[in-house]
Amino acid sequence: MDMSKYRGMFLSETAEHLKNMSRLLLQLEKAPTDKESIDSLFREAHSIKGMAASMGYTVTASLAHHLEDLMDSIRKGGGISAEAIDRMLAGLDLLEGLVEDITAERAEREIESFLAGAAATPAATPPTPVTPAAAAPPPAAAALPTPTDSEGEALHITVTLAEGAAAPAARAILLLRELANCGSLQASLPNADELKRGGPVGKLSAWLVADLPRNEIEARLRSMPDVAGVEFGADRRRESSSRREEGPRTVRVRTELLDRFINLTGELITNRYMLQGAARNSQWGEVKNGIGQLTRLLTDLHHHVLQVRMMPVESITGRLPRVVRDLARKTGKEIVLQVEGDEVELDRAILEELADPLVHMVRNAVDHGIDRQGKVTVRAWREKDLVLIEVADDGRGMDPALIRRKILEKGLLSPAQVKSLRDRDVLQWVCHPGFSTAPVVTETSGRGVGMDVVKSAVENLGGLLDIQSQPGAGTRIILQLPLSVAIIQVLLVTCGGQTLAIPITRVVRTLEVPRNEVRSSGRQLVIRLDEDVVPLLSLHKILGLPPASPGGGVQMVITELRGRRVGLVVDRLAGQREVFVKALEFPLNQIAGLSGAAILGDGHIVFLLDPQSLLETRPGAGRGPHPEEAK
């Protein structure tokens, strides 16, 4: 029997079971004797085993069976030990790696080294509360997942030990510990358990997602005793992952939604026949009524199609408790994570792109924002056609004065420019590539890599990122996102005879001012707005379009660039529309500042502008605009 048609369903359901198992294990860490959680965990492992076996994924089924046996012994023992929780979590990591192998249609990875460590793990202990531990060593390396594209450089490192080295196994263990300090250790041959049993070791192979440059890692390894050679190679597991083509993506749909689609289809067919009959008989009143009904049906269809694409925020926040738990143990901190509003729904395309940036922000809050104890809050809520997601901590906060000093030290702005920045604008500079105020580089943060990627990801989705912080009062990072990337609200503008669209999420406000209110400040044309000086830029100049004849007031779109308001001068503001956005194909997708295209009701095609990208990449963006650019 061909089981390939059930592969998508297997992957989807297995991912759900793995998420539930991770959640249950974290609950058991707080309540080790909770029988209901233990029983549920057993059932989740049993379900994965059964599905994998029926699909012919024998390695995955074997690992799930091993975890099921472990849970069975825990059920009989009355409580779960801290060691057993660590092992179960490591097993989940390995299961996730196996699912990645199945998704990529490659051979399932080996699990023998993980299974070999089973005897060393006490499953059940007398019921005692689990307390936060200091930094713990990573679980068995082979149990860790394949690195994802959001992590650092993946390396395959081979270390050759000198002939006649004293206690080579002990030397190799020390090398593994040093490698763990250089990034995230994914696997090693021999692994830590095998090394602890002693025996001859000539070479140590390790797979590492590096947090440090290669030359620094090599220098650290060569400085250790009895190291004869260090060789680097790319992690072939990542190479194979990056080469694979994406398989078909699936989504679960509630049956009542499918029923509603069938009903809507029937109503649309009826409406079509009614319009055809009315048109034949020249019954224009009936045609008008039919068009009104068609509009209602299409609005209803649009609403239900969006519902199919929507997923709860919980689909990406569900992994955060595990992230915080592991990082808190690694750094020796006591962190409380609170998640609110995870039932709020967003377009699945947005959530998929947001998963890694959200993890990075939470890791930043734990490692960079909180010293020893603290709370991280992730909150989602809806405002009209937007969803806002906030990551907040009650840690030390950010010091604008320190950020100003760093900007000057790096030569990013002149002293006069730095002095003119508001504190709110200064905070946005932590999203500048390579910018970091961390005094000490850690495995998690302090390298100036990350927040620029987060901001870029959010803006690519048509959203905005805002940072609010005060020294000693914690930090709030707020993401403002559209509900969907497919059908959005846009502002239409005309410029040089062209009609263009700007996503409403990029528009702070629209404005028309008399020409005599435009002032010159140095080499820049500006206006006064809400006690602030806003620079003006001409969309004609940026896009190379012919200028319009001057007349009347100056119409503009107020947007934001690096936390500061900027006025884009246009010929005319043409109103707001809802449009269906189509992605651009090559070569149009290579043009900076264009984010898509849409067809208006009159058949005209309009391009969507991304103001931030447009302003960042315009000629001379680093020096500031000339006065004539606003004319």
- Range scoring the smallest mean pLDDT among 76-90, 109-123, 369-383, 536-550: 109-123
Q: Is the pLDDT of residue 138 over 80?
A: no
Residue 320 CA to residue 363 CA, distance in Å, equals 9
- What integer is the mean pLDDT of 593-616? 84
Residue 537 CA to residue 545 CA, distance in Å, equals 13
CATH 3.30.565.10 fits 311-398+448-482, yes or no: yes
Q: What is the pLDDT of residues 568-585, one digit of tens each?
A: 999 989 989 888 888 788
Confidence of residue 169 (pLDDT cuts 50, 70, 90): confident
Task: State residue 501's pLDDT score.
Answer: 92
Residue 22's alpha-carbon distances to 28, 84, 189, 297, 337, in angstroms, are: 10, 13, 27, 43, 15
Residue 231 CA to residue 234 CA, distance in Å, equals 10
Task: State residue 177's pLDDT score.
Answer: 85
Q: Enter the tokens of residue 153.
A: 């450089």
Q: Which of 380, 527, 360 has the alpha carbon at shortest distance from 449?
A: 360
Q: Are 430 and 451 in contact (CB under 8 A)?
A: yes
Residue 317 CA to residue 312 CA, distance in Å, equals 9
Q: What are the φ and ψ backbone dihedral angles of 340, each rounded to 5 degrees?
A: -125, 145
Range of 47-56, 225-234, 619-628 with top mean pLDDT: 47-56
Superfamily per CATH, domain 487-617:
CheA-289, Domain 4 (2.40.50.180)
Determine the angle formed by the axes of helices 348-364 and 451-460, rounding to 10 degrees. 160
Superfamily per CATH, domain 3-115:
HPT domain (1.20.120.160)
Residue type, 162: A
Upper half-sphere CA count for residue 510 (Cβ side, 13 Å): 17
Strand partners, 570: 555
Q: Domain residues of the chain, as ranges?
A: 3-115, 154-231, 311-398+448-482, 487-617
Cis? peptide before 514, omega within 30° of 0: no
Confidence of residue 347 (pLDDT cuts 50, 70, 90): confident
- Range scoring the smallest mean pLDDT among 270-284, 316-330, 495-509: 270-284
Fold of 154-231: Alpha-Beta Plaits (3.30.70)
Q: What is the pLDDT of residues 292-344, one digit of tens each?
A: 888 788 778 877 777 778 889 998 898 899 889 888 888 888 999 999 998 99
Q: Is the pLDDT of residue 609 over 50?
A: yes
Range of 2-16, 130-144, 493-507, 588-602 with top mean pLDDT: 493-507
- What integer is the mean pLDDT of 499-525? 87
Sequence-ordered list of residues with C-beta below 8 angstroms from that of 138, at least 6 positions apart, any chain = 144, 180, 184, 185
Q: What is the pLDDT of residues 61-95, one digit of tens each?
A: 999 999 988 888 888 877 888 888 888 888 898 89
